[in-house]
Amino acid sequence: MAKSNNNEIKARSKWTLGDIVVHIILVILSVIWVLPIAWIIMISFRGEKGQYVSTLLPKSLTLANYTKLFTDTGILNFMQMFKNTLIIAIFSCIISTAFVLAVSYCMSRMRFRLRKPFMNVALILGMFPGFMAMIAVYYILKVLGLSEGSLIRVALVLVYSGGSGLGFYIAKGFFDTIPKSLEEAAYLDGATRWQSFTRIIIPLSRPIIVYTVLNSFLAPWIDFVFAKVICRANKDYYTVSIGLWNMLEKEYVYNWFNSFAAGAVLISVPIIILFMIMQKCYKDSMSGGVKG
């Protein structure tokens, strides 16, 4: 008995030591992850101009960096860029989500010729980064007359949402886990495939819908390469990623570096709001499940 008790005490001490080590590692990783965010926030309120300062902590705090983004529209119109990006991201998100869910459902439930070859081709194409085709995409848009004026927004929406259906693999895997018997019962009651999809599959697929919506919104919100290629010198249709990049150019960086940090903080707000809105749906759906 004494030996067994000693072994239990040693085992508990080992687990306790292991837990301490794990928690220390997690704390270190958390600090490393949070430090750049805290640094950007501090710079956004810093009163000293320029990208190089002698101290890590700001000597004076001010809201002028945020005010400059909203008032100084002569050189870099941040509010117009923010508006352009928000419009493009919202429409791209809606179209991309619809494409992904529709293609995923078809690949999961329907059986037709060339289904497997199509899935293999989609998998292979997904291995190549999209910006490899940006020059070809730009000339196609130019031929269609979508590379000038207000149609640039339409072009960007088409670019971001056009090929989104190829990313159906994750959503398809989720649809595969939903029992087909639920749809078969609906068909016996006279439901169409569309009714089965919208009234049975979609309500049970909130986790993957949340995942798809977040990814579909983030892609156009943070993209720089395609936006820069398509917008070129059309400043009225720049997105926030192009605007923030311009703030770091040699002629602007001294006066705009702190405002760059403020802009980096502001562009995270829509993402946070979207995540908070969809978080409840995600939690409720994860705690639900298929019953019966």
Q: pTM for the full model? A: 0.80
pLDDT value for 290: 42
Strand partners, 46: 61
Of 192, 210, 259, 221, whose CA–CA distance to 44 is shortest?
259
Rounded CA-CA distance 48/255 in Å is 10
Average pLDDT estimate for 31-49: 87
Which domains does the chain show, CATH number per domain? 2-65 (no CATH), 67-286 (1.10.3720.10)
CA 102 to chain centre: 20
pLDDT at residue 288 greater than cutoff 50: no
pLDDT tens, position by position, 63-112: 888 888 888 777 788 888 999 999 999 999 999 999 999 889 988 888 88
Average pLDDT estimate for 17-36: 87
Strand partners, 61: 46
pLDDT tens, position by position, 138-177: 888 888 888 888 888 989 999 888 878 788 888 888 888 8
User: Are the C-beta atoms of residues 207 and 285 closer than 8 Å to each other?
Assistant: yes
pLDDT value for 292: 39
pLDDT at residue 6 greater than cutoff 60: no
Average pLDDT estimate for 205-217: 87
- Three-class SS of residue 61? strand
pLDDT value for 5: 55
CB under 8 Å to 235, separation ≥6 — which residues? 77
Of 100, 169, 156, whose CA–CA distance to 130 is shortest?
156
User: Are the C-beta atoms of residues 115 and 107 closer than 8 Å to each other?
Assistant: yes
- Helix axis angle for 78-109 and 64-71, nearest 10°, is 80
pLDDT band at residue 7 under the 50/70/90 scheme: low
User: Are the C-beta atoms of residues 65 and 173 closer than 8 Å to each other?
Assistant: no
Q: What percent of the chain has pLDDT over 90?
A: 8
